[in-house]
Amino acid sequence: MNVATRTTKNSKKSAPPAPTSVPSNESVPSASPSLQTSPVNPNPSLDSPVNPNPSLDHPETVSPQQQRAYSHLFEGNSVATTPPPKNSAPLRVSPLNSPGSDSDSSSSSDNSSPVPVNMSSKSGESWTNNGPGKAPTVHSRFLKPQEYGSIKASFLRYLRKSKCTDSNSEDARDHFMACFQNEQTMMFFAAARDDLVKLSPQKFEEAMLEHLIGTTWVKTVRALILDARQDSFEDGAFSIMYETLLSYNNLLKGVGKEIDSSLFQSTLRAALNRDFETFLDAEGVDLSSSDLNAWVTLLKEKDSHFRRFRRPELARLARLEELEKKRISDSVRSSHKHL
Q: Is the pTM of this model over 0.75?
A: no
Which run of H or of E encompasses 209? helix 201-212
pLDDT at 115: 35
pLDDT at 133: 86
- Along the chain (339 residues), what's the average pLDDT of each consecutive run of 10 residues? 45 47 44 43 45 46 51 44 43 36 38 35 78 92 94 94 91 96 95 96 94 95 95 90 95 92 94 91 89 93 84 64 75 73
pLDDT at 49: 46
Q: What are phi and psi of 235, to 5 degrees?
A: 60, 10
DSSP β-bridge partners for residue 185:
none
Q: Is 151 exposed, middle or buried (0-12, 13-18, 19+ CB in 10 A)?
A: buried
**For residues 119 and 90, what is the distance between their CA atoms, to the nearest angstrom?**
9
Residue 49 · residue 40 · CB < 8 Å: yes
SS3 253: helix
Provide the residue ranges of all domains of the chain, joining segments of one domain with +: 127-215, 220-339
b (16+ CB within 10 A) / e for 166-180:
eeeeeebbebbbebb
Alpha carbon distances (Å) from 22 to 33, 218, 310, 319, 323: 18, 75, 74, 65, 65
Give one DSSP letter per residue of 18-56, joined into a string.
Answer: GGGGSPP-TTHHHHHHHHHH--S-S-TTTS-TT-S-GGG
pLDDT at 235: 84
pLDDT at 14: 47
